[in-house]
Amino acid sequence: MHIAIAGNIGSGKTTLTTLLSKHFKWKAHYEDVENNPYLNDFYKDMQRWAFNLQVYFLNSRFRQIIDIKNSGDKYIQDRTIYEDAYIFAPNLHSMGLMSSRDFENYKEIFNLMDGFIDGPDLLIYLRASVPKLVEQIQKRGRDYENSIRLDYLTRLNERYEAWIDEYHKGELLIIEVDNINFSENQDELDEIIKKIDAKLKGLYK
Catalytic residues: 78
Distance of CA 10 to the CA centre of its chain: 10
d(CA 160, CA 105): 22
* Bridge partners, residue 7, by sequence: 126
Burial of 149 (0-12, 13-18, 19+ CB in 10 A): exposed
Q: In what order do the strands lie in the sheet with 171-176?
A: 27-29, 75-78, 2-7, 122-127, 171-176
DSSP at 3: E
Angle subtended at Cα 174 by Cα 55 and Cα 36, rounded to the nearest 5 degrees: 25
From residue 25, alpha-carbon distances to 49, 120, 202 in Å are 37, 17, 20
d(CA 139, CA 134): 8
Q: Find, among 133, 120, 129, the residue nearest to 172 by Cα.
A: 120
